[in-house]
A and B are shown apart, each in its own frame.
Chain A
Amino acid sequence: MAEPRRKMKDLRKQPGFDFMAWFCIVFLYAPIVVLIIFSFNDNRSVVRWTEFSLRWYYAAFDNEGIRNATIVSLKVAAVSTLFATTFATMAALATTRTPPFRGQMLSYAIINQPLMIPEIVTAVATLSFFSIIKQLTGVTGIGYLMLAHTVFCIPFAYMPIRARLEDMNLTLEQAAADLYATPIQVFRKVTMPLLAPGIVAGGMLAFVVSLDDVIITLMVAGPGETTLPVYILGQIRRGITPEINAVSTLLLLLSIVLVSAFFTLGNKKK
């Protein structure tokens, strides 16, 4: 087993690919490193270094606006990722691995529709629509924001899952069905695990897209629903403070902690 494996590993390599991958990592992380360094800068400026200090961390903790915005951001991203990924997985199961069906192109078009229109237009139109609903039902709250996020997260979650599903082998599922597994068992024990990398990728994308959204959130958010990006956008004219760098660094730290915990738990289960 060990011999052919090593041979395979060599064959897997493509010239220059490793270099590009490392270049990609450096490219992605260089700005992040700069950002982290500047979060420890003892100066109001986000563009000039003076000396080391933790003052922006204290300031960020002290700032109710930033605190609330961070919590709202995470809450909205978590809920909308959950919905969007679930819906997208179901939609991907329905639209792939079947012979062409009536309405297939239409389904694709609808699923990807949120991608097609620039955010600002969706934002303004959604604003009108939600206002009508609010007028009719009297219901207000953060649910609208989560709904709006779910809508535009679906295509982002759908794409990787569909890419994964396309030409995925049916034989395992058929074998399981032949062994009298119920459709649910087939789904849980066979389809799901095969699909998992796609779902992880899709979910991560949806989360990041939600966490980053600014235009639609700016328009749709009601009182007390400012997310971090909207908070930051509001600061542009008045100058962005390094508190934002501090919060960003803390968010990175949080994501590392969360994901490590997730991995550790997952390994234990195995």
Chain B
Amino acid sequence: MGAVQHSGADARLDEARRRVEADTRRRRRQLLAPTLIVIGVFGLFPLTITLIYSFLSPGVYGGVTWEFSTDAYVQFLFERDIFDDTLSFSGTYLSIYGRSIGLAFGATVGALLIGFPTAYFIASKPPSQRNFWLFLITLPFWTNLLIRTYAVLLIIRDEGIVNLSLQSIGLIDQPLTILYTDFAVFLGLIYSYLPFMVLPLYASLEKLDFRLVEAAYDLYATRFQVLRHVIVPMAKPGIVAGCILVFIPGLGAYITPELLGGGKELMIGNLIALQFGGSRNWPFGSAAALILMVVVMMSLIVYVRYAGKEGNSHG
């Protein structure tokens, strides 16, 4: 009798647990549905089109013709010599990818170095002031990117404000050539994507419990130790999100590099845009984009894994 009753209770408990789990799943599905449907249909369908394009042949004057071909991928690594039609390894595209990745990575680090203190500064303001500061960070971005970039250009020109003021205080005789260099692109990328770093960082730093910081000091931690072992680990989700939001768009950027870099060197974004424009090679443009996507995905997985482990080791 007793045993029967006991198992009946167990069954009811199991039943309840199952119901709760089913409930959670159902709710999760409902919450995810709009996003997955919208992106699934309007994001993945274009992706599929891109994948198909990448295996077709270029059409006359743009577009594609329905002929299967892997030329687009072969072309990425190998060059059919324009002069004698032999296939040889070519680093042209790899070097373009390399430069773009380097610049985007540099911009991400730069944005993190500027953005983290800023987000922390905002998060440590009284709650009533925080939204004001957030607004202050996003306000410049109500102006169009092109126009902002033109303004940056005015500042770092040979006869721009930076050079004029450096010259007037006697720090330099000759104007520094900043504009139309990789450094200008680097500055421009940081400038373009800084809020993408600050806002997620803020979102995770805002909930930082300063009592923890206090406790750490009570345990005679130095400021740097507090930063490294208390603040940064807590901001990890924000750092991950911010770095993703700066790195990926930075990789595909092409207006900033064109205007500030002078347009003499291609970035990934320009290379791909060119294929859909003047070069009339949509399959290669599609393939180059998919290769970029794979690179991004792989670095994301590595990065998130690594960031996750780091976070765990800090508790």
Contact = CB atoms under 8 A, between A and B. Distances in A.
A binds B: yes
A14 B120 contact: yes
A42 interface: no
A261 interface: no
Given A110-B36, A208-B195, A232-B144, A20 B42 contact: no
**Interface secondary structure of A, over-half rule:** helix
B6 interface: no
Interface residues of B, number: 103
Interface in A82-138: 83, 86-88, 90-91, 93-95, 98, 101, 107, 109-122, 124-126, 128-129
Contacts of B281: none
Contacts of A109: 297
B109 interface: no
A88 B39 CA distance: 11
Interface stretch (A50-58, A146-154, A170-178): A146-154
B178 to A, nearest CB: 14
Nearest to B216: A11
A8 B46 contact: no
Contacts of B49: 125, 128-129
A94 B36 CA distance: 12
A30 B155 contact: yes
Contacts of A128: 46, 49
Contacts of B3: none
B198 to A, nearest CB: 8
Interface residues of A, number: 104
Contacts of B242: 159
A38 interface: yes
A95 B32 CA distance: 8
Nearest to B252: A118
Nearest to A201: B199
Given A28-B137, A129-B45, A150 B38 contact: yes
A197 interface: yes
